[in-house]
Amino acid sequence: MLFAAVAGGAWPVVRRLTHRLEALKRGVEAFGAGNLQQRVAEDGRDEVAALGASFNRAASRIEALLRSHQSLLANASHELRSPLARLKMAVSMIEDATPEQRQALQREVDTNIGELDALVEEVLLASRLDATVGVERHDEVELLALAAEEAARVQASADGADLRVLGDERLLRRALRNLLENARRYAGDEVEVGVARAGPKVEVQVADRGPGVPEAYRERIFEPFFRLPGHAEREGGVGLGLALVRQIAERHGGSVRCEPRPGGGSVFTLSLPAPG
C-alpha cells in the first residue's frame, strides 16, 4: 500500500517531466532536420529548463552563424563576377593586341588577379572570425609601435602614448592596416594615427581629410560588402575591410566607430580594453 501511494503521488511529476523531455527531444530533432528557427520551452527552474535554455542559446548562435555564412557567400559570389568578367575580356583580347596594348592588358590582368586574391583572403578571414567569439592568442601588443609600422606603409604619421593591449597581434595589425588603407583610398596624403588612453580603454584613431561619411552611413559602412554610393565603386575595394575591422575589434572585447573630424574628414576609432 505504501509503494502504491508513493507511485501514485510520483506519477504526475514523472509524467510532466517525461512530457517536457519529449518536447525537448522533438525540438532538437526538428532543429537537426534543418528548421533553424526551432526553439524549445524554457519554463521552470529545474535542470530541464536549464537544458532548454542552453539549447536555445546554441541554436541561436548556429542559426546566426549559418545565416552570416550564407550572406557572405552570396555577396562574395556577386563580387567575384566583375573581376572575373574583366579578366576574361582582357585574356580574350591579348592574342590580337599590339605590343603596347598587350602591356596594358597584362596590367589589367594583374590588377584583377590581385582583386580576386584580396577578396578570397578577406572572405576566408571573415568566415573564420564568424566561427569564434574571442581570440586564441593574448600577446602583449605595443600599439604605438604597431601603428608606426603600418602608418609608414602608406606614408602616414603616427604619434601618441606608448600603450599596450593583450590580443592577437596579427589580427590587430590587419585591423589597423585596413583602416589606414581605407583612409588612404579616400583621403590621399592627409592621414594621421594617434594612440591614447580613454578611461578603461585604449584607443587608436585614424584621422583623414577626405570627403567624410554621411551620418546615415556611419554604422552601415561596417556591414560586409556595403559601399558608399558613388565612392567605393570608383575608388575600388571589395567592401569587407571595415567589416573585418569591426569583427576583429569585437573578438578582442572592443569596438570601432566612425565620427566626423573637425575641419572636414573622418576619424575612425578602434577602442580596445586596457590590460588590468
If phi > 0 it is left, if psi is from -120 to 50 it is alpha, else beta; for residue 132 that is: beta
- What is the rounded average pLDDT of the residues 119-130? 74
Torsion of CA 147, 153, 154, 159, to 10 degrees: 30
Prediction pTM value: 0.67
- Quote the cell numbers at residue 241: 575591410
Instruction: Assess contact for 191 and 269: CB atoms under 8 A.
Output: no
- What is the rounded average pLDDT of the residues 81-89? 79
Q: Where does the pLDDT of residue 196 fall: very low under 50, low under 70, confident under 90, or very high at 90 and above? A: very high
CATH number of the domain at 239, please: 3.30.565.10
- What is the rounded average pLDDT of the residues 247-252? 92
Q: Where does the pLDDT of residue 208 fall: very low under 50, low under 70, confident under 90, or very high at 90 and above? A: very high
CATH number of the domain at 1, please: 1.10.287
- Output the pLDDT for position 180: 93
Residue where a domain terminates, one of 131, 158, 185 = 131
pLDDT above 50 (res 234): no
**Same domain? 206 vs 89:** no
Q: Where does the pLDDT of residue 231 fall: very low under 50, low under 70, confident under 90, or very high at 90 and above? A: low
Task: Give the max Cα distance, the chain.
Answer: 105
**At what angle are helices 99-130 and 47-94 packed, to 10 degrees?**
180
**Same domain? 122 vs 44:** yes
pLDDT above 60 (res 55): yes
- Output the pLDDT for position 144: 94
**Same domain? 164 vs 90:** no
Q: What is the pLDDT of residues 30-43, one digit of tens each?
A: 878 878 788 888 87
**At what angle are helices 99-130 and 241-251 packed, to 10 degrees?**
30
- What is the rounded average pLDDT of the residues 219-241? 70
Residue where a domain terminates, one of 131, 162, 186 = 131
Question: What range defines the domain where residue 173 resides?
Answer: 139-273
DSSP assignment, residue 261? P
C-alpha span between 99 and 17 (Å, rounded)? 81
The residues that bridge with 142 in the sheet, in sequence order, are: 164
Q: What mean pLDDT value characterizes the chain?
A: 82
- Output the pLDDT for position 15: 67
